[in-house]
Structure 1
């Protein structure tokens, strides 16, 4: 018997209600876990090591999610900002350790040290916290310092990409760094984010644009490979959310271009692929499992991308599938996870029904994407 036959039909499922159900469960869990920071940190260290940003995103994407809620739920703004600040303060020493700052303190960095992934993530979370009305002198010091490091790096690059890590980079992190500066322009008044973004757009068009799909490539211009790497779903869908602040028209244009290339439907399932058609790229820790030509990461991030571009019907359709959560989690109790698509992944994350997605890192990313809301005025 096909186990998927037991899944409910979605005809009468309200996607917006499913989204609210997901937000409610994850908000309550992350609020509860913040009450015991030591146990939370131990859980992150134990459960999230499979992922490239496994030590980073559980703190900072969670903080961003609470800033989204602070903006979209004015009556609960103080409580959500308090939780955002808690996760920021838990994450900042972790970020310092990731980039090998002296004494794990980001204030001791003298340069961005080719660490745009970590620093842009921290900058974005701090910027959204500030935009949502957060005020904390300790966090303000870090915000000022990190944004200045990123501004110096971007100005030196003059439109070319900056490095994600010392030995590996995706072009996405340059967009993320510009987004971080755009959220708080008053911290780096001598930098024109608009000018740098326009220069970077020209660089993308010349060196990192895939004409066949009309999408930006994931890796190009760093000398890691002779052939630029193809567009990736997890990359371009995150860019859509960020461009909503940098360049709203570009954000909507990118999402329009993504849909005919990556949008997929198979039976009861609807989602987005990690790779364009005819590119059989590998599953990895960024993509997550790719099942029925739908990537786990890309499909989850598409919810936020749809919300950021006023495509609420697409977000609702994606969220309808949350009705599959309970039966799918139940199936994991008796299925042999070593013999299903993405076995390498499912064995590594150890599915647990306490999490909405079944695993902690998945909840951090999902909480971030399903709560997407404008914080202040985009653009």
Structure 2
């Protein structure tokens, strides 16, 4: 196993790229042999240091609807539940997304998930090689909602089974689960046969459903890929290009880019907000993330602003406040004694200054008059 302190997409050392789909006769993704030591650019871009003081996602279950999640990945060990065979991840994309959302800190690396204390529910939304359909995604969303997920990350964008996907989102919202999805498929030449790299601007589902948080990506320089299609106005932009995360098997890391990975960033952010303020509904969580975003052509996720917004929750640590007690409170009225002392001191100071000013006028006049009374 080798280590590298950098992991930009142009780094000559490089990390293996994560794939979103494999050809039918292609072998499963092999574990990465390279560990990224340094902190990724996303940690500062999302202000995770300050955000983690408020929330780390404890108590929130995030469903990853994708290619599966490898339960043996060390950074996810002990926190992944799987539906059916979703504990196996031949492609690696689901494990990568789960790592972006919830990977725990590990010795020797600065790579960590946005919500490192959240739990993950792996729900397969594709076949073993990553091929999917709208019907498969719709069924997986319903399953995730039934299993109690409060945030449902969908790693794919589909153009078929729109009604099924719309109804699945409504089903999830009725169960207070927030669905987060990429606004368009990732652009990847190796995925051309799958239809996942179609750059045509069109409505993609489930992102096009109004109740879904639709997400596009940006990179370390702040820009979005020129090839990224805009079929409609996405809700948020988030870090998704040249991002680093775990993969199936071992301690090594992969690198990837795309709106699906930006959606994973937003899913992690939603987990932090829901853990920080458990009283927020799925719709209110989406509203909080959108309205606290940094203004831009597509509003940019501002995680710390979402967590520290006025009216934000106190999280589990401040249990006991319910109903009206949980609202923002004004401080108790202070004792008047310090204020009265301040007024006395201020009045004395003003009086002294007036005496000095008067002396400066009266004394010179008195000397000129030899201290005689005027008119004598």
What TM-score, normalized by structure 2, do the two folds share?
0.30
State which structure, 1 or 2, has the greater radius of gyration over its C-alpha atoms: 2
Structure 1 or 2: more helix by fraction: 1
TM-score by length of 1: 0.30
